[in-house]
């Protein structure tokens, strides 16, 4: 027989009920509209002729709609003083994809080792990796750049030679720098997901004679796909939008520099060419938007994964 006495609802349940009501939905829609309004205005402005964009606001497009693709033609394939963003766009892809793959792959292996492999100093090593997140990125730029350009000498012994890459290998400095800066957070996040997996899975796999390599490949990896995708999205967006690391390790070399470096140059030297800046800015955000929306379902699952253990 059920108890007729109503149970008191928790504060979290009351807040959740209010947020899921009509008022909460209306507030969420208003916030979403305000949040996306600048991007929408940027998109419209990128297709407007130069004269209109310099004399009227983007909202006047609806009363006098005029569309042109000249802005994109100028920034993507124009002369050097106008854009040529196409080559920088390719550079951004070449930099972002390997930097993301390296971080996700190495972080997954390290997180598994720190979570399910017993070896001396494991806890201290994890504590050190966690502490690296506190170190400002700017503090490591000059020492790392010195190692790349001059090598590493310890006690008068040349431990690492100077890196003098040519051609496609010029991207190596940027890949290594982004991987180093992204690993502490990546290992920490994946460690939380992997350590929350049931121990019975690993015990059953060991009973069947599986080693760590088989367990990681056939047991752990399929279970943490949402977490891997979430980390990949974070890393990809950070690398794609990065300017400081790319400017330090790639410089202004058109053969290596990513899209953000060229956009910064356009903002400084072509600051009055608003029609080209809007087109260039929208070119830079197209890929992050596509990546996020195409992997959104994995991203949400990855954020929720590990929140409930068991």
- CATH classification at residue 149: 1.10.3720.10
Largest pairwise CA distance in the chain: 82
Say what the alpha-carbon torsion angle 68, 54, 42, 25 is, to the nearest 10 degrees.
Answer: -120
Model pLDDT, residue 307: 44
Model pLDDT, residue 49: 86
Model pLDDT, residue 223: 87
Residue 237 lies in a domain: yes
Q: 10-residue block means of pLDDT along the chain (310 residues)?
A: 52 63 79 87 86 83 84 75 73 91 94 89 89 85 82 77 70 89 91 88 86 88 88 90 84 76 71 75 84 73 49
Model pLDDT, residue 17: 66
Residue 46 lies in a domain: no
**Backbone φ/ψ region at 306: left (φ over 0), alpha (ψ -120 to 50), beta:** left
Q: How far is CA 169 from CA 84, 137, 159, 206, in A?
A: 22, 24, 21, 42
Residues in Cβ contact with 302 at an 8 Å cutoff, skipping those fewer than 6 apart: 226, 227, 228, 229, 230, 231
- Cβ atoms 189, 103 nearer than 8 A: no
Distance between CA 273 and CA 70 in Å, rounded? 13
Residue 280 lies in a domain: yes
Domain limits for position 170: 72-305
Sign (positive or negative) of CA dihedral 151, 152, 157, 158: negative
Q: How many domains does the structure of the chain reveal?
A: 1
Model pLDDT, residue 308: 42
Residue 63 lies in a domain: no
Model pLDDT, residue 133: 84
Model pLDDT, residue 35: 86
Residue 162 structure tokens: 């100077």
Residue 62 lies in a domain: no
Residue 78 lies in a domain: yes
Residue 155 lies in a domain: yes
Residue 37 sits at the vertex; the CA angle it makes with 34 and 43, to the nearest 5 degrees, is 165
Distance between CA 258 and CA 95 in Å, rounded? 8
Residue 18 lies in a domain: no
Model pLDDT, residue 113: 92
């Amino acid at each position: 027989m059920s108890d007729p006495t109503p149970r008191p609802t928790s504060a979290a349940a009351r807040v959740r009920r209010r947020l899921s009501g009509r008022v909460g939905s209306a507030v969420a829609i208003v916030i979403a509209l305000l949040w996306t309004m600048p991007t929408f205005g940027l998109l419209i402005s990128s297709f407007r002729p130069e004269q209109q964009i310099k004399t009227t606001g983007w909202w006047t497009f609806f009363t006098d709609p005029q569309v042109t693709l000249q802005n994109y033609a100028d920034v993507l394939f124009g002369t050097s003083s106008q854009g040529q963003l196409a080559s920088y766009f390719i550079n951004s892809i070449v930099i972002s994809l390997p930097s993301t793959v390296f971080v996700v792959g190495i972080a997954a292996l390290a997180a598994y080792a720190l979570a399910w492999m017993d070896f001396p100093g494991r806890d201290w090593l994890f504590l050190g990796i966690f502490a690296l997140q506190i170190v400002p990125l700017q503090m490591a730029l000059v020492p790392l750049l010195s190692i790349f350009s001059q090598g590493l000498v310890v006690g008068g012994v040349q431990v690492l030679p100077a890196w003098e890459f040519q051609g496609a290998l010029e991207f190596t400095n940027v890949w290594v720098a982004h991987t180093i800066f992204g690993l502490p957070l990546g290992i920490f996040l994946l460690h939380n997901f992997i350590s929350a997996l049931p121990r019975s899975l690993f015990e059953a796999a060991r009973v069947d004679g599986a080693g760590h390599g088989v367990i990681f490949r056939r047991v752990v990896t399929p279970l943490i796909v949402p977490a891997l995708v979430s980390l990949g999205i974070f890393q990809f967006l950070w690398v794609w939008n990065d300017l400081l690391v790319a400017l330090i390790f790639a410089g202004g070399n058109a053969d290596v520099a990513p899209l953000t470096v060229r956009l910064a140059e356009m903002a400084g030297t072509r600051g009055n060419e608003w029609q080209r800046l809007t087109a260039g800015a929208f070119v830079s955000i197209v890929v992050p938007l596509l990546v996020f929306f195409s992997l959104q379902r994995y991203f949400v699952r990855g954020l929720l994964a590990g929140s409930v253990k068991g």
